[in-house]
Amino acid sequence: MIHKFNAFSDNYIWGIQNENTFIVVDPGESVRIREFIKNSSDVKSLACILITHNHHDHVGGISELLPFMTENTGISVKLNGRNLTSPPYIFGPPNCEEFGVNNFVKEGDMLEVNDLCIKVMDISGHTKEHVGYYTHSDSIACSQPIFFCGDTLFGGGCGRVLGGCIKSLYNAIQKISLLPKETQIYCAHEYTEANLKFATELYPNDDRIMERYFMVSKERKKNESTIPTLLSNELATNPFLKCSSFTEFRRIRELKDCWKG
Ligand SMILES: [Zn+2]
């Protein structure tokens, strides 16, 4: 199952639990993760950490989680079929090394944590190096594929270019658009309502965008989360997935960068 941990003002840190195996994605801070492990009857340690990119709100909690990864608890961790034998296992792009990432990953790499397989995708663009983690496994009781996309795609929007480049970001969004339509998108921020407000201004006659905006606004009024979001829903209502060319993508990104809401 997937656990959601709120962090900072609008971040989500994701936890993947497969029986007693526990993996954390993008721990920008650690307090709720530490509490969870201390209070859980199944989870006693952290098998590994997955990092998407080097921004502080994604890596800031790594060092405080190291004590939970020192013991060898019998959990098997493999990278491209090779057994890893010295924890802690912190996976991420090479430019995250200074924050504690010690196992670098790239496009096409395959992680195996017990019987859970996780595929690495390069989705750079928001930052110079940015990866996403894709899994589709019954072992975590998720019948749908799951993609942890960090700050690349958001509900109704996409990440800004902050150190990366717009062409790479476009390519990354295109790559995500080719995942199975039933993929659940686990992004790292709750930005959906503002993103869709922008989308309604961009496409004032689009009923599906309007409908989704009203639904999301209601959810947010009740302080409900809008994440994960379904890729098919994003394909229908997210301006950055709906656009048909790089030129249009860049134009929308520039408009959004200046948009005051
Ligand atoms: Zn970021």
189 Cα: distance to centroid of ligand 1 (angstroms): 9
Token pair belonging to 169: 């970001």
**Alpha carbons 130 and 26: distance in angstroms, whole number:** 12
Does this model's pTM top 0.85?
yes
Q: Please list the residues that pair with 21 across neighbouring strands.
A: 18
190 Cα: distance to centroid of ligand 1 (angstroms): 13
**Alpha carbons 113 and 118: distance in angstroms, whole number:** 8
127 Cα: distance to centroid of ligand 1 (angstroms): 7
151 Cα: distance to centroid of ligand 1 (angstroms): 5
159 Cα: distance to centroid of ligand 1 (angstroms): 7
Q: State the pLDDT at residue 70.
A: 74
71 Cα: distance to centroid of ligand 1 (angstroms): 31
**Alpha carbons 173 and 241: distance in angstroms, whole number:** 7
pLDDT tens profile 216-250: 999 999 999 999 999 999 999 999 999 999 999 99
pLDDT tens profile 67-103: 999 766 788 999 999 999 989 999 999 999 999 999 9
Q: State the pLDDT at residue 92.
A: 98
- Which residues lie closer than 8 Å to 224 by C-beta, 6 or more apart? none
Q: State the pLDDT at residue 72.
A: 61
Q: State the pLDDT at residue 137.
A: 82
Q: State the pLDDT at residue 138.
A: 76
207 Cα: distance to centroid of ligand 1 (angstroms): 31
130 Cα: distance to centroid of ligand 1 (angstroms): 9
Report which of 59, 124, 134, 140 is spatially closest to residue 97, judged by C-alpha positions. 59
Q: State the pLDDT at residue 19.
A: 87
> What are the chain's domains?
2-258 (3.60.15.10)
| Rounded alpha-carbon distances, angstroms, from residue 168 to 148, 156, 196 | 18, 19, 23
Write out residues in the chain with pLDDT < 50, as ranges.
Answer: none
Q: State the pLDDT at residue 143.
A: 81
Q: State the pLDDT at residue 71.
A: 67
Report which of 83, 82, 148 is spatially closest to residue 121, judged by C-alpha positions. 148
